[in-house]
A = this chain, B = another copy of it.
């Protein structure tokens, strides 16, 4: 069995990694770290794991972590991961970083996040559907939650050079804001409400831009506006895409089918996707409609932000990096209703 560790196991992505790893037949959870919860049972924080995970949070040094683990997931805040990754990564320990630290080119990262980078290493952007080369890597930067849904919704049209202008209007569940209470997550503020934020300046736009630009160098006009909706999980992205030529529904459909032919976790659905069908699963559901009035395609993508948007995708990366089948431990349906 492959031994895996989680650095930063007290948050939602840490808990979700554990939930999913429990169902994975080829790995064992060796350790999960948390400075502030060191010595406490993991299941006292992640109560749904009671009876299934008997470990306590540890706080070992990087040397011990890489001695004990074959694969390490780093699930710490942005700006912190860059201090941990170089200490753990070596020829025998693979690392998947769930933070933003290695997703962007170093100069872009420093500009967008306003943080000086201390480890300007190259990393593959671990969106497996577009980066099969993760199979050859020992270090991967796991994509952001919003970018995962947005990029997958538009990549096929970018790939054929057809996008003139794209607006990604995303609606996210509140777990994207993390496990610590705040005004944003306060029930009376979010129930029965929709709360847009960072209307034009959200940092995830840079990831969306980078990846779509990789597919179409000339693509410039990429816009992103996020909203929080009253849902625990999920990101639904409405991509309003204006195309260079008029496309028929059939042309759009075949373009999506082509690019995702070998991507088991992308489902091109008939009808309009919604969050319910992907809740708890690693699927990205995609549907679309062509506007006959002008050269616009409206594409909807739906993911679970904690699974395909974070921990599930990280395990999908691990599967390829370790030579497992891509779907190992992840081939489970969503929890619906």
Contacts and interface: CB of A to CB of B under 8 A. Distances in A.
Interface of A: 12, 15, 19, 22-23, 46-53, 167, 169, 171, 173-175, 179, 181-183, 185-197, 199-201, 221, 223, 225, 227, 229-234, 236, 238, 240, 264, 267, 269, 272, 274-281, 283, 285, 288-294, 296, 298, 300, 331-337
The 10 closest A-B pairs by CB, nearest first: A188-B337, A48-B336, A200-B291, A48-B334, A181-B181, A199-B289, A199-B298, A194-B236, A169-B169, A47-B277
A192 B231 contact: yes
Contacts of A230: 187, 191-192, 229-231
A95 to B, nearest CB: 25
A194 B337 contact: no
A253 to B, nearest CB: 14
14 contacts: A51-B283, A171-B171, A175-B188, A179-B188, A181-B185, A186-B186, A194-B229, A199-B238, A199-B291, A200-B289, A200-B291, A223-B240, A227-B236, A335-B335
Nearest to A197: B272
A296 B223 contact: yes
A242 B42 CA distance: 35
Contacts of A290: 200
Identify which of A185, A187, A240, A296 gathers the most chain B CB atoms within 10 Å of its CB.
A187
Contacts of A296: 200, 223
A242 to B, nearest CB: 8
B294 A221 contact: yes
